[in-house]
């Protein structure tokens, strides 16, 4: 697992099977596919609304303005197939200090259960360490077995903290020292 980050250059992380790098505008269609595939239990603001937003054009705009440096969601590209299957990266969850971002990942269903999220997460942990972060957080719905399993595999531990939402379920807060 390697995380090669050159200051001032585009972030590119490389693992055995994956490249993690900034999204390209033409890949907005893949971001939209991720939106359409989301579990119905995910809250409405993270799902395509009745008017079809976000549209591909809106997602293209957000890619144009996004330049990951020591934080951001990177496109996960399979090296062999050269296709993008989702994202993995760091976000400012606004929960703790900006010096303690959250790990986040989401992949297209057709690529699930092949170890990609775990492999990408290890690279992002290396990136976070190289960027000087000392601790990360993660939030996950209690019903999200696959995500909880990935977080366990990359050695996050559950805290006592939970947020209960009667409609969407309970969000668990996990943390990991780097
Ligand atoms: C979470 C997600 C990224 C995992 O991606 P992935 O590439 O399939 O993950 P991995 O293959 O690295 O690991 C998945 C693990 O969960 C397990 N798993 C997957 N689905 C499961 C299920 N329904 N029940 C039990 N275990 C499950 C797999 O067996 C594997 O564990 P193992 O290696 O011990 O066998 C993917 O399911 C996804 O995109 N989900 C929707 C978005 C999401 O939930 N994002 C996280 C928000 S917190």
pLDDT by residue (tens digit) across 96-148? 677 899 999 999 999 999 999 999 999 999 999 999 999 999 999 999 999 99
Ligand 1 binding residues, C-beta < 6 A: 105-107, 112-118, 140, 144-147, 149-150
pLDDT digits (tens, 9 = 90+) for 12-24: 999 999 999 999 9
Query: Which class is 2-133 in CATH?
Result: alpha beta
Residue 4 clears pLDDT 70, i.e. is over it: no
- Provide the pLDDT for residue 94: 74
Alpha-carbon distance 11 to 3, whole Å? 9
Task: Give me the half-sphere count of Cα atoms (radius 13 Å) on the Cβ side of residue 93.
Answer: 18
Protein residue with least CA distance to atom 21, ligand 1: 146
Helix, strand, coil proportions of the chain in percent (round to 5)?
A: 30, 30, 40
- Provide the pLDDT for residue 97: 76
């Amino acid at each position: 697992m390697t995380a090669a980050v050159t200051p001032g250059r585009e972030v590119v992380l490389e693992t055995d099977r994956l490249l993690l790098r900034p999204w390209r505008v033409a890949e907005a269609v893949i971001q939209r596919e991720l939106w359409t595939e989301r579990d119905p239990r995910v809250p409405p603001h993270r799902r395509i609304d009745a008017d079809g937003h976000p549209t591909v054009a809106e997602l293209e705009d957000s890619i144009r303005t996004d330049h990951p440096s020591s934080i951001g969601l990177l496109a996960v590209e399979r090296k062999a197939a050269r296709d993008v299957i989702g994202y993995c990266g760091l976000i400012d969850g606004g929960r703790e200090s900006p010096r303690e971002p959250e790990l986040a990942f989401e992949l297209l269903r057709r690529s699930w259960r092949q170890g990609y999220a775990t492999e990408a997460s290890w690279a992002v942990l290396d990136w976070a360490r190289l960027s000087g972060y000392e601790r990360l957080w993660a939030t996950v719905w209690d019903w999200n077995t696959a995500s909880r399993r990935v977080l366990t595999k990359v050695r996050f531990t559950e805290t006592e903290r939970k947020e209960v939402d009667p409609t969407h379920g309970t969000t668990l807060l996990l943390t990991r020292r780097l």
